Amino acid sequence: DADVTQTPRNRITKTGKRIMLECSQTKGHDRMYWYRQDPGLGLRLIYYSFDVKDINKGEISDGYSVSRQAQAKFSLSLESAIPNQTALYFCATSDLQAAAGESDTQYFGPGTRLTVL
Partner 1 sequence: QQQVKQSPQSLIVQKGGIPIINCAYENTAFDYFPWYQQFPGKGPALLIAIRPDVSEKKEGRFTISFNKSAKQFSLHIMDSQPGDSATYFCAASKGDRDDKIIFGKGTRLHILP
Residues that bind partner 1 (CB under 8 A): 1, 4, 33, 40-43, 45, 48, 50, 58, 90, 92, 94, 96, 100-106, 108-111
Strand partners, 43: 37
Question: Is 50 or 72 the residue whose CB approaches partner 1 more closely?
Answer: 50
Closest CA to 74 of 101, 99, 54: 54
Q: What is the DSSP string of 34-88?
A: EEEEETTTEEEEEEEEEETTEEEE-TT-TT-EEEEEETTEEEEEESS--GGG-EE
From the CB of 96, what's the least distance to partner 1, in Å?
A: 6
d(CA 80, CA 92) in angstroms, rounded, equals 24
C-beta closer to partner 1: residue 16 or 96:
96
- Separation CA 3–CA 107 (nearest Å): 9
Minimum distance, C-beta of residue 92 to partner 1, in the bound complex (Å): 7
CB of 90 to partner 1, least distance (A): 5
- The smaller minimum CB distance to partner 1, of residues 78 and 91, is found at 91
In the complex, the smallest distance separating the C-beta of residue 77 from partner 1, rounded to whole angstroms, is 20
